[in-house]
Amino acid sequence: MIKPLADRIALKLIPSEEKTASGIVLPDSAKEKPQKGEVVAVGSGRVLENGTRMPSEVKVGDIVLFSKYSGMEHNINGEKVLILAERDLLAILD
């Protein structure tokens, strides 16, 4: 088990599909593309200057988009887990 600290979130990576519904691979645009992951553990939240913690907006099981070059990978029992700061998460997909 992994328990992220402060505003950290642990994710299991979801491989991205660079294809449209019709199966055609699209050429990349100049824009940076985010990646998908499933939340596996959530930290206790960012410490505010008044000493309280701001709880995370995401929960275990959420599918989230995050910025490609953020976070650090760790192996837990042979499985890759990415740990990143909540501010590097962009959106929840549902």
Chain residues binding a copy of itself by CB under 8 A are 1-6, 8, 10, 20-22, 26, 29, 31-34, 41, 43-44, 46-52, 54, 57-58, 64-65, 67, 71-78, 80, 82-83, 86-87, 89-94
Residue 77 DSSP SS3: coil
Residue with tokens 């294809």: 19
Distance of closest approach, residue 37 Cβ to a copy of itself, in angstroms: 13
Distance of closest approach, residue 82 Cβ to a copy of itself, in angstroms: 7
* Separation between Cα atoms, residue 67 and residue 90, nearest integer Å: 7
Residues in the chain: 94
Distance of closest approach, residue 54 Cβ to a copy of itself, in angstroms: 5
C-beta of 60 vs 90, nearer to a copy of itself: 90
- Strand (E) or helix (H) holding 90: strand 89-93
Query: What are the backbone angles phi and psi of residue 52, rounded to the nearest 5°?
Result: -90, 165
C-beta of 12 vs 34, nearer to a copy of itself: 34
